[in-house]
A and B are shown apart, each in its own frame.
Chain A
Amino acid sequence: MTTTDDRPLLEVKGLRMHFPITEGMMTRRTVGEVKAVDGISFSVARGETMGLVGESGCGKTTTGRCILRLETPTAGSIVYDGVDIAGLSQKQMVALRQRIQVIFQDPFSSLNPRMKIGQIIAEPMKVHGIEPDATKREARVRELLTICGLNARFADRYPHEMSGGQRQRVGIARALAMNPEFIVCDEPVSALDVSIQAQVINLLEDLREKFGLTYLFIAHDLSVVRHLCQRVAVMYLGRIVELADSDTLFDNPQHPYTKALLAAVPVPDPLVEQGRVFRPVQGEVPSPINPPTGCVFHPRCPIAVESCKQSRPESREIQPGHFVACTQVGLS
């Protein structure tokens, strides 16, 4: 199925995911809601790697879970290859699940400890009836292990016999088993040691080229995101505050939060570090249960003005493809 139009593979519009907060033991009543994702829009082109960055609680993982339909969004649309999947039933999602796969952060808890590696990778093929023949399935498992840089003998091992990096390769092999076109990578290298991280990053890049994959890459490590992604969206408290192509965002950030985030990352070079003026942004991320009015970043923002407390800034395209949700940017 190859479409030649330039319609994006995935288009998210006005996505909201609010979780109710309930109280009471016998009769549960809703006393509030956590606005984990509060109206975000972005698109991902075929073959592109889109980065979603932000600190804990900004809603990046929830966004990924909505796209996988592990959550049913409160509002908004998620158009995948022309079909709005936000309202599909779990049954209708089954067919799409083969095309959209996920790689999780923690290679220690995302593999069933009682299953052998071979069974773990073969399971989705069995469930979806992709390869009903057991012998062919085994051959495919061996092939997938080899593609992911593991010895085919690992099929007979258990997860506890493997290191973190090896387990993450198993997680990738399992995602590839379905021949997906889109993979949500949720912090796939954060749990790994520095020297192993680079191996897995290279593997993800190789696979993207080899199989023409499209990634949504969710991470908090900005250096990794800069390396892997063509475009990046920065999230803060359930909203996208800035979106641009990777080099523009990292070399010429416009939103005060993006600037603060980039300034906070130390660079592995003492000479560069000595030359940097460093003033960390003050305060902490407010609660998404009761987010600040107006612009959610205003309590920590160095350039906030009175109007930032009242009205929520809309995302503006300040240059082609560069979107910023801040009223103060571009004024001088």
Chain B
Amino acid sequence: MPPLLDIRGLHTEFRTSAGTVRAVDGISYSVQAGETVAIVGESGSGKSVGAMSILRLIPDPPGRITAGEVLFDGQDLLKLTEEQMRQLRGSQIGMIFQEPMTSLNPVLTIGRQITETLEQHRGATPAAARERALELLGLVGIADAARRLKQYPHQLSGGMRQRIMIAIALACEPKLIIADEPTTALDVTIQAQILELMKDLTQRLNIALIVITHNLGVVARYATRVNVMYAGRIVESGSAAAIYHDPRHPYTIALLRSVPRLDRPRQARLDPVEGQPPDLTRLDAGCAFRPRCRFATDACAAGRPVLAQAGLEDGHLAACFNSGSLSHTDQAA
């Protein structure tokens, strides 16, 4: 069965006064129907720009998608007209953003923001849309739905607003939801509630989910596949188990070693990734992680490695010249 979403060689750049920034520099991955894929990376790694490019929500200028294909249900989204794209956003692909405080319209009631989607995309009558809105609020666990529909975003807590965002994303029964740091702004107990809700709903309704996050714990709990991004590229891709237990890219290894663990007594010292993330306007021909990499060799300066099979698991890819020699023992060292 062909994947629901198939991204091939996607490039997105921004023209800035400091030079051209290749925020997304040729990424390819696919998402099967009903699957949860995590995109992990730090600020500036291109994880959000990559996801926004799927929906073509890149402000132009300064941004531009310069190459690639985004095949959704077999159709290249980059070839659609703006009007066709608008029909698709929010109906076939839903979105959940990080900031539940700013992503809802402050001057519209909760009810209006949900029914608007339904009336726009489904041509629902106001009465039918309201009916469906009540049902959706129940689905995302909001009690007293009739009263909530009349309220404005500022009258709700952060967790409640994120539930509303999920209700809006679900309104038109999309096949795919893109969630960009959906719980970063929330407290841990509320984060746990929202993540469980998203997991439950996507499984029950067979919705594929792309979740963008920097939280390695969230990824471990929820993702089936993981793509690790660094400097605009996917540097490692594989099942969650392979990424966590047999990492094959030095960046992934360093990232996993640098986080303190709640379930373990304290170690003597953390083992941080030394140095700073690269300046994307000044990348050279070599591997972008080279300056911070403890395994770097001369070959790493000559060219940028491409994703290739690594590790034992089929489909576990890493973009590193030395991935074959990075074994589990290196990680434990």
Contacts and interface: CB of A to CB of B under 8 A. Distances in A.
B124 interface: no
A166 B275 CA distance: 10
B244 A270 contact: yes
A247 B263 CA distance: 10
B189 A198 contact: no
A43 B183 CA distance: 34
A190 to B, nearest CB: 11
Interface in A251-309: 251, 260-273, 278, 280-282, 284-285
B305 interface: no
B272 interface: yes
B217 A195 contact: no
Nearest to A205: B269
Interface string B243-270: 0110000000011101111110111011
A250 interface: yes
B128 to A, nearest CB: 31
A195 B244 contact: no
Contacts of B157: 284
Contacts of A205: 269
B263 A222 contact: no
Contacts of B244: 268-271
Interface stretch (A2-10, A84-92, A223-231): A223-231
Interface in A197-239: 197-199, 201-202, 205, 220, 222-224, 226-228
A319 B219 CA distance: 37
Interface string B209-240: 00000111111111000000000000000001
B42 A268 contact: no
Contact of A262 (B256, B258, B262): B262
B263 A272 contact: yes
Nearest to A266: B217
A133 interface: no
Contacts of B333: none
A197 B216 CA distance: 14
B196 interface: yes
Contacts of A223: 259-262
A55 interface: yes
A163 B277 CA distance: 9
A180 interface: no
A260 B190 CA distance: 11
Which among A198, A246, A284 has the greatest number of chain B C-beta atoms within 10 A? A198
A164 B217 CA distance: 23
B127 interface: no
| Chain A interface size range | 35 or more
A280 B196 contact: yes
A47 interface: no
Contacts of B190: 55, 284
A92 to B, nearest CB: 37
A273 B220 contact: yes
B192 interface: yes
Contacts of A266: 192, 195, 215, 217-218, 220-222
A226 B241 CA distance: 25
A194 B218 CA distance: 14
B75 interface: no
Which among A223, A268, A269, A285 has the greatest number of chain B C-beta atoms within 10 A? A268
B107 interface: no
B201 to A, nearest CB: 15
Contacts of A278: 192, 196, 221
Interface in B269-320: 269-274, 276-277
Given A205-B269, A270-B241, A261 B259 contact: no
A220 B220 contact: no
Which among A166, A220, A264, A272 has the greatest number of chain B C-beta atoms within 10 A? A264
Nearest to B218: A266
Interface of B: 42-43, 157, 159-160, 187-193, 195-196, 214-222, 240-241, 244-245, 254-256, 258-263, 265-267, 269-274, 276-277
7 contacts: A163-B276, A193-B277, A198-B259, A198-B270, A198-B271, A265-B217, A267-B220
Closest 9 CB pairs of A and B: A198-B272, A266-B217, A195-B273, A227-B260, A268-B216, A264-B192, A55-B187, A280-B192, A198-B258
